Structure 1
Amino acid sequence: MYINQAIKKAETQKRGITRKVWFPRPMILIPTNTNAGFLMTSIGQDPGQKWVPYSDDLTANDWIPYG
């Protein structure tokens, strides 16, 4: 699914999002409604730095809710 679809689904499930191509150790992105944008984390870590997407990330269709 596209990033906007994954965000909507993840919000209802109280989860983050990731891309399938980032497996087996995916980054988990937590969308915010602040100027922080997306917070980036991975399993077992606290949310850390801000994520800045590439254009390929924004147009990809392999996004899924995760975490």
Structure 2
Amino acid sequence: ANPANPANPANPANPANPANPANPANPANPANPANPANPANPANPVSLIVCEKMVGEYLLCI
């Protein structure tokens, strides 16, 4: 009789999967632009100065 076939050798273990690379860092958010300056308030118009006149001299100005 033919001799028995020898047993097949065990399959070698699969190598470990390499580690996944780290995710790159998220870029920083850009700075918010500065708010534009508020425009200056326009100057108040000059009030008319009313003076009472007596004998050529101004005695009371409002």
Fold shared, TM-score > 0.5 on shorter chain = no
Looking at secondary structure, tell me which structure has more strand per residue.
1
Q: Which has the larger radius of gyration?
A: 2
Q: TM-score, normalised by structure 2?
A: 0.16
Which protein is richer in helix relative to its size?
A: 1
Q: Give the alignment's TM-score, normalised by structure 1.
A: 0.16
Greater RCO (CA < 8 Å, at least 6 residues apart): 1
